[in-house]
């Protein structure tokens, strides 16, 4: 996520907005955990995995809205 955006913009937003920074960190954590679960490295039941995927999607949507609000 945010690969297409200039790194300087992303870093400035992370420094200036604690909520954005925390949400991005949480999204990255969830991304890793979901991937590990799908690969069988992290044993999770289906309900937990589904909840994590929903939380990750919510975080992504919120991050994108925050980014857009800051750059328009």
pLDDT of residue 19: 96
- Please report the pLDDT score of residue 22 as a whole number: 97
Residue 9 covered by a domain: no
How many CB atoms lie under 10 A from the CB of residue 20? 18
Domain count, the chain: 1
Residues of the domain holding 38: 16-70
**What span, in angstroms and rounded, lies between the C-alpha atoms of 38 and 16?**
34
Tens-binned pLDDT, residue by residue, of the chain (72 aa): 788 888 888 899 999 999 999 999 999 999 999 999 999 999 999 999 999 999 999 999 999 999 999 877
63: CB partners within 8 A, 6+ apart: 1, 2, 20, 23, 24, 27
For residue 10, is it within any domain?
no
pLDDT of residue 44: 94
Determine the straight-line distance between the first and last CA of the chain, rounded to whole angstroms.
19
For residue 65, the model assigns a pLDDT of: 96
Q: How many Cβ atoms are within 10 Å of 60's Cβ, its own excluded? A: 17
Can you give the pTM of this predicted structure? 0.88
């Amino acid at each position: 996520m945010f690969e297409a955006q200039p790194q300087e913009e992303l870093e400035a937003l992370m420094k200036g907005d604690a909520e954005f920074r925390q949400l991005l960190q949480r999204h990255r954590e969830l991304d890793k955990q979901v991937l590990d679960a799908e690969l069988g490295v992290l044993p999770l039941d289906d309900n937990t995995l589904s909840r994590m995927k929903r939380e990750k999607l919510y975080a992504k949507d919120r991050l994108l809205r925050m980014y857009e609000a800051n750059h328009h």
